[in-house]
């Protein structure tokens, strides 16, 4: 399995606090059958603000430890970029880390809002050569109220990923219904764990993928295709 979004780097954000916790989480994912996971360190959110240097160093350290203990799962670098008015400036600064340090960027909306500048910020990024992917739109309050907001973005080329836990009801019935809709309609081709730990935000990717299969998404073709693309795409 491929997990394109999980918080697995130690001491970076609200994911694992220590290397031991990080390795325990990754061991559990490895035992579930995950072969590759893209780190999703929070950035630009005014709280954690992971730096490029910290993300790349932590990724290297975790991979070295995984090899040392004989685990085959691989961690790729990445950030979950909080949507700001000047997203493009942050991207041009070179500080942001896309998926596997590529020009595919993972973007998070404010939990309760769909800012007026959302379309402008995302489309400016696209014009500059970046490819934004919106994370967990099914959990955004305004998109729940007006799903057409996500469809409008999708029509303009913005893809999305939904959280496996949403598909199995762990974020409530509204998030589950919208996640199912976005998967079924092809708006969200990617299913991710968004795991943070082994308790409150445990990895549920196998269960989420099973739920997606019931909706007609039979495999991880989209995830594999994106992983192959970003493996050869320069930042």
Structural domain boundaries in the chain: 2-230
63 touches 74 (CB < 8 A): yes
% of residues, the chain, pLDDT over 90: 90
Q: For position 204, what pLDDT does the model report?
A: 96
In the 3-class helix/strand/coil scheme, how is the chain assigned residue by residue?
A: CEEEEECCCCCCCCCCCCHHHHHHHHHHHHHHCCCEEEECEEECCCCCCCCHHHHHHHHHHHHHHHHHCCCCCEEECCEEEECCCCHHHHHHCCCCCCHHHCCEEEEECCCCCCCCCHHHHHHHHHHCCCEEEEECHHHCHHHHHCCHHHHHHHHCCCEEEEEHHHHCCCCCHHHHHHHHHHHHCCCCCEEECCCCCCCCCCCCHHHHHHHHHHCCCCCCHHHHHHHHHHCCCCC
Mean pLDDT of the chain: 95
Q: Give pLDDT tens digits for 74-122.
A: 999 999 999 999 899 989 999 999 999 999 999 999 999 999 999 999 9
Mean pLDDT value across residues 162-172: 96
Those residues with Cβ within 8 angstroms of residue 216's Cβ, 6 or more apart along the chain or in another chain: 184
pTM of the model: 0.94
Residue 66 pLDDT grade (very low, low, confident, very high; cuts 50, 70, 90): very high
Apex 41 CA angle, 10 and 32, nearest 5: 70
Token pair belonging to 10: 């130690």
Count CB atoms within 10 A of the CB of residue 228. 10
Which CATH number among 3.20.20.140, 2.60.40.10, 3.10.20.90, 3.90.10.10 corresponds to the domain 2-230?
3.20.20.140
Q: CA–CA separation, 88 vs 68, rounded Å?
A: 39
Q: What confidence category does residue 234 fall into, taking pLDDT thresholds of 50, 70 and 90?
A: low
The pLDDT > 70 percentage for the chain reads 99
pLDDT above 70: residue 219? yes
Tell me the C-alpha distance between 122 and 153, whole Å: 9
Q: What is the pLDDT of residue 218?
A: 82
Residue 115, token pair as written in the block: 């800012």
* pLDDT confidence bin for 235, thresholds 50/70/90: low
Q: Average pLDDT, stretch 158-183?
A: 96
Q: What is the mean pLDDT of residues 211-215?
A: 94
């Amino acid at each position: 399995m491929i997990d394109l979004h999980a918080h697995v780097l130690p001491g970076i954000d609200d994911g694992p606090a220590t290397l031991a916790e990080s390795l325990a989480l990754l061991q559990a994912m490895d035992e579930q059958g995950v072969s590759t996971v893209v780190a999703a360190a929070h950035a630009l959110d005014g709280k954690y603000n992971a730096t490029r240097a910290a993300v790349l160093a932590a990724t290297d350290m975790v991979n070295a430890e995984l090899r040392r203990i004989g685990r085959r799962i691989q961690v790729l670098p990445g950030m979950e970029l909080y949507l700001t008015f000047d997203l493009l400036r942050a991207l041009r600064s070179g500080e942001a880390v896309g998926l596997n340090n590529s020009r595919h960027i993972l973007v998070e909306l404010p939990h309760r809002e769909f800012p007026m500048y959302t379309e402008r910020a995302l489309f400016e990024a696209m014009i500059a050569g970046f490819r934004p992917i919106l994370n967990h739109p099914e959990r955004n309050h305004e998109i729940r109220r007006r799903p057409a907001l996500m469809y409008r973005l999708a029509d303009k080329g913005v893809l999305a990923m939904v959280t496996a836990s949403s598909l199995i009801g762990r974020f409530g019935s509204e998030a589950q219904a919208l996640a199912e809709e976005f998967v079924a309609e092809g708006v969200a081709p990617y299913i991710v764990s968004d795991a943070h730990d082994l308790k409150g935000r445990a990895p549920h990717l196998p269960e989420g993928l099973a739920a997606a299969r019931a909706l007609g998404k039979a495999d991880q073709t989209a995830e594999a295709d994106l992983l192959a693309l970003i493996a050869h795409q320069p930042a």
